[in-house]
A and B are shown apart, each in its own frame.
Chain A
Amino acid sequence: MHWLNWVIVIGWLAYVVTHGIRRSKGTSSTEGYFLANRSLPWWAVGLSVMATQLSAVTMIGTTGQGATDGMGFVQFYFGLPLAMVILGVTLVPFLHGAKVYTAYEYLERRFDAKTRSLTAFLFLVSRAMSCGTIIAAPAVVFSTIFGWPVAWSVALIGIPAVTYTIVGGVQAVTWVDVKQMFLIVGALLAVVITLLVKIPVSPSDALHVAGNAGRLRVFDFSFSLTNTYTFWSGLIGGTFLMLSYFGTDQSQVQRYLAAKSVDEARSSLLISAYWKIPLQALVLLVGVLVFVFYQYHPGPVLFNPAHERAVQRVAPAEYARIKARYVSSTVPFERAALRGEALALAGRITHQPTKDVNYIIPRFVLDNLPIGLAGLFIAAVIAAAMNAISGELMSLSTATVIDFYKRWVRSDAPDHHFVIVSRTATAFWGLFACVVATFAVNLGSLIEVVNRFGSFFYGSILGVFLLAMIPRARGLGAFFGLVAGMLTVGAVNFGEPSVSFLWHNVIGAVVVVAVGLPLSLLRE
């Protein structure tokens, strides 16, 4: 990459760390560190919530998915607006009004300590696993493209994010998220404009090319439990997933707990309700336009440079034959078939999943964007990773200190003791995430892995919060309902036929309520 691009990347990192540290005023109490003294305006909280979700996986994996599969993934978010409205009148007033630090703390007030501890523990396990993946996704791609050890890329992303999170707490995380959100959206728009300029046909003709290759097929109305992204799984399964994610996941709940009032917390979620689907459509459109671009400019057959080198070394003649036919072909379906052939060849030679989809956009950016813009996009990918990881670290640290350390180990220490423990916990989880990321090279499809870890527990935890809003539900019912929900999701996940993960949330939540409520009534 050109040195000017590196200046932009390093300059941005220096800016966000400085900005985050400057925003650390008032974080010398636990309420200041974890909840910014409940003082944040709705628009900052709302942008921060969106920024936490928009990880580097979105910038690299989802855009790549747009290029290979088209716009269908946007269906995943169809349930989000409805979920935001439901949360605005249910869990948000409950949690904000209860003046709690974590969503799980509320469960002890409503049920008992064991339900709180189990849900907090499940959160820690699932998030600890996924926070490594969040850094690993871009780190592996950067390492392959720039030829670095993975640890360097992990350090490039992890050190700045962990630094401003330790020092400034939720306040720094939120304000850095706001700045980085503008960078990310700006970089995506700049790439779209560049693509429209570089594609040698009109935008309408470009969309016809994409449409002819099936890349603009958004809706799949088939009612299938095994297809991952359909209209119905997005609308029904997606609503449950988003209810669980925004209503019970500490990384999201913590943001709106930091809002000035219940109304501001509610308004912050509506930003996602209005803008999430258009933003995801923009992300996928970047991938679709990159696909069109490569119909007019011969691109690499294999985008993963490490695999391309391996194939050229082991089977040079076969790869040269595929490449020659690929470059001379003008028919999208034929090119797709040739790419499939090359991917299969790479898989046979490297004995690894090719994960080529994650390299399409980075390769396009570095090979085709003008100097400066490429640096801006790489900075935006790092920014997206930092947004996601800083939110996760903050929530892991809060659950560790509030739900375990303060609840079970030391409840009577002075406040400044908990601030020190909180900063130490943030540093520990930051180090943990970086170590996991360094060794998480082969974790399967990046998008699916992150979502799968979450959905395994999400639905069941949502079920417990649904029970909490039913007056006659009791602690014992909630606890055993939660266990039954998780066992059922486990059975569905590992059984046959394999049910798409978006349905796990529906199944988990329904089982928890179906088991927990009768048990509660029996105990009365």
Chain B
Amino acid sequence: MRSTFKRTLFSVMSVQVITLVLLWILQHTYTP
């Protein structure tokens, strides 16, 4: 159970971090 949780947490949070970084790049590329 604990290893499944860790694996899922890592995978979901990785995707979220990538999404947030992409949104951050969008903001900083186009907002003066």
Contacts and interface: CB of A to CB of B under 8 A. Distances in A.
B12 A218 contact: no
Contact of B30 (A81, A89, A208, A219): A208
Interface in B5-29: 5, 8-9, 12-13, 15-16, 19-20, 23-24, 26-27, 29
Nearest to A208: B30
B23 A270 contact: no
The SS class assigned to the B binding surface is: helix
Contacts, number: 64
B15 A218 contact: no
Question: Which bucket holds chain A's interface residue count?
Answer: 20 to 34
A81 B31 contact: no
Contacts of A85: 5, 8-9, 12-13
Contacts of A514: none
Interface string A52-80: 00000000000000000001001000100
A156 to B, nearest CB: 36
B5 to A, nearest CB: 5
Contacts of B13: 81-82, 85
A141 B9 CA distance: 41
A219 B21 CA distance: 11
A88 interface: yes
Given A74-B23, A89-B1, A277-B19, A216 B12 contact: no
A160 to B, nearest CB: 35
A81 B32 contact: no
A445 interface: no
A82 B5 CA distance: 11
B15 A274 contact: yes
Nearest to A231: B20
A489 interface: no
A242 B19 CA distance: 18
Given A89-B1, A89-B5, A274-B15, A214 B31 contact: yes
Given A82-B13, A211-B31, A277-B19, A218 B8 contact: no
Given A81-B15, A85-B5, A270-B8, A207 B23 contact: no
A274 B26 contact: no
A71 B5 contact: no
Interface in A269-288: 270, 273-274, 277-278, 281
B31 A216 contact: yes
B26 A218 contact: yes
Contact of A81 (B1, B4, B16): B16
A212 interface: yes
Nearest to B1: A89
Nearest to B15: A274
Enumerate the 3 nearest inter-chain pairs by beta-carbon distance, A residue then B residue, closest first.
Answer: A211-B30, A211-B31, A81-B16
Given A219-B24, A273-B15, 13 more contacts: A74-B23, A78-B16, A82-B16, A85-B5, A208-B30, A211-B29, A211-B31, A214-B31, A216-B26, A217-B27, A217-B31, A218-B26, A219-B23
Interface of A: 71, 74, 78, 81-82, 84-85, 88-89, 207-208, 210-212, 214, 216-219, 266, 270, 273-274, 277-278, 281
12 contacts: A78-B16, A78-B20, A85-B9, A211-B31, A212-B30, A216-B27, A219-B23, A219-B27, A270-B12, A277-B16, A277-B19, A281-B19
Interface of B: 1, 4-5, 8-9, 12-13, 15-16, 19-20, 23-24, 26-27, 29-32
